[in-house]
Structure 1
Amino acid sequence: MMRLLSVMLAVALAALGWQSWRLNNASHTIEAQDLALKDKADELAKKNSQLIGLSILTETNSREQMQLYAAAEDTRSLLHQRQNRIEELKRENDDLRRWADTLLPPDVIRLRERPTLTGGAAYREWLSKGDAVPPGKVSATQ
């Protein structure tokens, strides 16, 4: 009987030790998963704030684009009115009609033939290439 009791006690202690090990292992797993969950929550909050920022930026860009389209339409309308007014004036005034039909002066034509410039460096390069001043003559007697 004593032997049976000691075997039962050993089995109970082994089962208790095994359960304790499983509980400890589960506790560590829960802690690791809790840390991973907190990291994912922080990452999700960061992504969410980025999405909110992008949404605000998109709305702002959309609003600005609408304003630009409206301004372009206003400009197009004003240009059309100006062209109509020029045509009306040309029809009304013979001197103005003759003036409008003459060629522009060569300097103005040269200005209108300027290439498209894309920044300050391109402008400086264009300036240095065009209409360069020839070097002055150096006299031998000084």
Structure 2
Amino acid sequence: MKMEQIRKFGPRDGSAAGEGPGMTRSSLLVAALMVLLLWLLSRETDALRIELGRVSERADQAERLASQRQADIERLTALLGSERGSRERLRHEQDDLRAALVGHQQRLEELKHENQKLRDWAAESLPAAHRLRDQPAITDVDAYREHLSGSDARPAAAVEQSAQ
């Protein structure tokens, strides 16, 4: 019967059946600690989400920068290839020009030594300038004959060369 009394009337100190006097306080304390722990975890989760967003933005920015750099590398590589091709074309053109210059110089030397008469003529000295100025003006055939028959007439070039 005692059990029935306990169930019917409850414990004598006024607490609920099956609980001791400190059980209510400890339950409240555990519940408060659980709420505090949940609140702290919620704040930490929010902070981690914010940090994850920042890291994600940085990763996206780094990816964009990497793709820009890759595009720059590809553009510079193409430019370098073009420049190398241009340099090679210029080198071939320079070689062709050098060969043409050597050919022209050789031809010039050949022409210099080709005609002995031309070299001899080029070696002769020019007539004195005052003799060229002293010539009378020849206006007709008779004046020309008179000039040739005079003592100061110069012999023709063909006569001079045959005399030598």
| TM-score between the two structures when normalised by the length of structure 2 | 0.57
**How far 1:53 sits from its partner (Å)?**
0.6
Check 1:35–1:96 CA distance in 2 against 1; reply closer, same or farther (3 A cut): farther
Q: After TM superposition, give the deviation of residue 73 of structure 1 in Å.
A: 0.5
Does the alignment pair 1:11 with 2:49? no
- Residues 23-51 of structure 1, C-alpha deviations (whole Å, 9 max, x = no match): 11000100111011101111111111111
* Whole-Å separation in 1 of the counterparts to 2:111 and 2:54: 84
Alpha-carbon distance between aligned partners in 2 of 1:84 and 1:6, rounded to the nearest angstrom:
115
1 CA distance for matches of 2:52 and 2:31?
31
Aligned CA distance change for structure 1 residues 2 and 74 (closer, same or farther; 3 Å): same
Give, in whole Å, the separation in 1 of the partners of 2:45 and 2:100.
81
TM-aligned CA deviation for residue 94 of structure 1: 3.5
Q: Deviations over 1:39-71 (max 9, x none)?
A: 111111111111111111011101110110110
Q: What RMSD, in angstroms, separates the aligned Cα atoms of the two structures?
A: 1.9
Residues 1:7 and 1:71: Cα distance change in structure 2 (over 3 Å)? same
Count of equivalent residues: 101
What is the aligned counterpart of 2:74 among 44, 52, 58? 52
Is 2:93 the partner of 1:71? Answer: yes
Partners of 1:30 and 1:91 lie apart in 2 by: 90
- Name the amino acid aligned to 2:75: G
- Post-superposition offset of 1:99: 8.8
- Within 1, Cα distance between the matches of 2:59 and 2:45? 20
Considering Cα pairs closer than 8 Å and 6+ residues apart, tell me whether 1 or 2 has the greater RCO: 1
Q: Which amino acid aligns with 2:36?
A: A
Which of 27, 32, 35 does residue 49 from structure 2 map onto?
27
Any unmatched runs of 5+ in structure 1?
A: 102-142
Of 2, 26, 40, 2:62 maps to 40
Distance 1:59 1:18 in 2: 60
Identical pairs, percent: 23
The 8 Å contact of residues 90 and 97 in structure 1, kept in 2 or not, is answered as yes
Secondary structure of the corresponding residue to residue 67 of structure 2: helix
Does the C-alpha gap of structure 1 residues 95 and 52 become closer, same or farther in structure 2, counting only changes over 3 Å?
farther
1:89–1:96: 8 Å Cα contact kept in structure 2?
no
Question: How far apart are the structure 1 equivalents of 2:111 and 2:65?
Answer: 68
Q: Which runs of 4+ in 1 moved over 4 A?
A: 95-101
